[in-house]
Chain A
Amino acid sequence: MTLTAQEFAFISGLVRRDAAIVLETGKEYLVEARLLPLARQSGLPTVSEFVIKAQQRPEPETYRKIVDALTTNETSWFRDGEPFAALTHTVLPDLIPNRSNNRSLRIWSAACSSGQEPYTISMVLHEAMPAGWSYEILATDISTEMLGRAESGMFSQLEINRGLPATMLVRHFERNGANWRVAPSLQKPITFKRLNLAQPLPPMAQFDVVFLRNVLIYFDVETKRAVLQRVINLLKPDGWMFLGAAETTIGVDDRFERVSTGRSSAYRLKAGSSSAPVRAQEKG
Chain B
Amino acid sequence: MRAMVIDDSRAMRLILKRIAGQLGFEVSEAANGREAIDQLAAMDTPPELALVDWNMPEMNGLEFVIAVRADPKYKQMTLMMVTTEGEQGQIVRALAAGAHEYVIKPFTPDAIVEKLALLGLVPNGAAA
Contact = CB atoms under 8 A, between A and B. Distances in A.
Instruction: Please tell me whether chains A and B touch each other in their complex, using a CB distance cut-off of 8 A.
Output: yes
Interface string A50-91: 000000000000000000000001101010010000000000
Contacts of B99: 166
Interface string B78-113: 000000001110011011000101111011101100
Interface residues of B, number: 22
Interface in A154-213: 157-158, 161-163, 165-167, 169-170, 174-175
Q: Is the interface of A mostly helix, strand, loop or mixed?
A: loop
A74 B87 CA distance: 23
Contacts of A81: 117-118
Contacts of A158: 106-108, 111
Contact of A162 (B86, B92, B101, B111): B111
Given A76-B114, A78-B118, A157 B104 contact: yes
Contacts of A263: 124
Contacts of A175: 86-88
B54 to A, nearest CB: 13
B120 to A, nearest CB: 9
A73 B107 CA distance: 11
B88 A174 contact: yes
B91 A169 contact: yes
18 contacts: A76-B110, A76-B114, A78-B118, A157-B86, A158-B107, A158-B111, A161-B111, A163-B115, A163-B117, A163-B118, A165-B118, A166-B94, A166-B101, A169-B91, A170-B88, A170-B95, A175-B86, A263-B124
Interface of B: 86-88, 91-92, 94-95, 99, 101-104, 106-108, 110-111, 114-115, 117-118, 124
